[in-house]
Structures are given as structure tokens and as C-alpha cells.
Chains A and B, each alone.
Chain A
Amino acid sequence: DQQVKQNSPSLSVQEGRISILNCDYTNSMFDYFLWYKKYPAEGPTFLISISSIKDKNEDGRFTVFLNKSAKHLSLHIVPSQPGDSAVYFCAATNRDDKIIFGKGTRLHILP
């Protein structure tokens, strides 16, 4: 059973617009959430995280929103740039346990 779900395998967004990537989780014990970005032929890199005690965390063009009651988080990228084209993985953990990854969403930024 998938504990972390990214239901959109791919997403295309015009350059300059907002990209919104979604993630749902089922395990209510998760209390820390992360987003990773992955380019082809490279390993994933950490992008941004959020603790369950917050509902928003912002870092430059990237903002993560957490809705605990809906067990849903989203990553907003504003404005989207060509270099944002990559696969984005949502991940969740209860900090001292293993981290669980979603299947990823491939983001295409269109010129």
C-alpha cells in the first residue's frame, strides 16, 4: 500500500507561470515532509521541507503547503523557469524512522 502518493505522473507549465505539484499521504504518524528534485542521470537533491507543526514554508521561488487534516501537501514554484524541468519527489517520515518517497511527478516547463 502506497503511503505517499503523487497522482500526476507529469505536468506541463508555461514559463513564468505557477507550477503546483501535489502529494497525498496516508500515514498519520508522518510528521516531516520533504521535496526532492531530480535531473536525468543525476541523483535527487533536497529542495525544501516542512514540519507538521507548520502549514507553510517558503524558500525563494519555492513554497510548500501542508494540510494535515486532508493529509495533503503541495509544492508551488513561482515563477516557473526552464531549469525547473525535472522530476519532483515528495517524501515523508516520522523523523526517526525511514523516509518514504512518492513515485514522482515529471515537470515540463514550456517556453
Chain B
Amino acid sequence: NAGVTQTPKFQVLKTGQSMTLQCAQDMNHNSMYWYRQDPGMGLRLIYYSASEGTTDKGEVPNGYNVSRLNKREFSLRLESAAPSQTSVYFCASSERVSVWETQYFGPGTRLLVL
């Protein structure tokens, strides 16, 4: 039982390049989330998917797109990376949006944009 997995673990991009961060969960959770963590800023929600087929903006959605591919997978795409998107990205899932005790996080993806 792997929980929440993220790929890649680390990535370096040049300004303007695009990339997709992958996330998968094996807990049969309905809801999935993408957060970013910056030094001294805590965790900020980028996008979330309350259930398969739905996605909604979080606190900091600009510059990102998401796809809920199926119940297991939720990807985050940077179309044109900027240095301000240098951060650690965490994917998470929970049974549903209101059951926050069941929110499990992946190990994170460290992204450096030069």
C-alpha cells in the first residue's frame, strides 16, 4: 500500500519550459489536492478535485492547470514555468473534502526554475 506517490522527486526547468507533475493514490479517496510550500509560507492550496470529474481553484491557481485523469490520478501542469514557481509541491488525497483527518500527503516534488 503506497499511499500517495508523486513523480518526479526533483526537477530543474528553464524559464518558459513546461512540465507535468504526476500524482497517484491507492486509497480509493474521492478528493485530491495540489499544494505548494515556500520557505516561511506554509502550505498553500493550488487546485483541488473534490471528486472524479471536478476541479476547483485554490488559493494560488495562477500559472497552473490540473487534470483529474481518473479516481486515482491528479496531475498538475506548468505551461510556461517562471522562477516564482520554484517551490516544493505536495499532492494529497482524502476520503472527501470535509474529512480532513484522512488527508494524506505525498513525499513532494522539488522544482527549481532557473
Interface, chain A (partner B; CB < 8 A): 4, 6, 9, 32, 34, 41-46, 49, 89, 91, 93, 95-104
Closest partner residue, chain B, to A2 (CB atom): B42
**Do B100 and A43 touch (CB < 8 A)?**
no
Tell me the bound Cα distance from A13 to B44 in angstroms. 28
- Please tell me if B21 contacts chain A, counting CB pairs below 8 Å: no
* Chain B residues closer than 8 Å to A91, beta-carbon distance: 100
Chain B contributes a number of interface residues (CB within 8 A of A) equal to 23
**Do A89 and B42 touch (CB < 8 A)?**
yes
Tell me the bound Cα distance from A9 to B42 in angstroms. 11
Tell me the bound Cα distance from A100 to B58 in angstroms. 10
* Chain A residues closer than 8 Å to B92, beta-carbon distance: 43
Would you list 5 pairs from A and B whose C-beta atoms are within 8 A, ordered by A residue? A6-B42, A46-B101, A101-B44, A103-B40, A104-B42
Which residue in A49, A89, A102 is a CB contact (below 8 Å) of B100? A49
